[in-house]
Amino acid sequence: MRLKIKWNDDRVRGTTTAILLISRDRLIRGESLADMIEASLAEYRADPEGYKERKRAWAAATEPGPLTKPLHLAYHRNLVAAVDALTQKWTQTKRQFNSLLELDNALVENLRHVR
């Protein structure tokens, strides 16, 4: 039986939220913008339970939180806009994925251009 992940699946929303939250946390820690999406996804997939625990203490995903550097604020705003646009596009086209790996690869490919 093949796994189908539809555009409106909680796994899609959960993964995009994790990207926003973890990337913001990585920016706060002063980590590089290079490969931010890949690193955030890897961190999320490596420890989903740890992510859920930390998520409770974080501000909403679309909020900049304690980001103070203009470059980091701009990156976070651009990433939020790109995620919104991408999920809207996937909803309109009724995009489906066969695995979490395929979902992750699609997110990386579509979000890696954000600066």
Task: Convert the pLDDT of each residue in 44-68 to its tens digit.
Answer: 999 999 999 999 999 999 999 889 9
The 10 Å Cβ neighbour count of residue 83 is 21
Residue 1 is predicted with a pLDDT of: 46
Average pLDDT over residues 66-90: 96
The model's pTM is 0.94
What pLDDT sits at residue 2? 64
Euclidean distance between CA atoms 12 and 104, whole angstroms: 9
Q: How far apart are CA 3 and CA 32, in angstroms?
A: 34
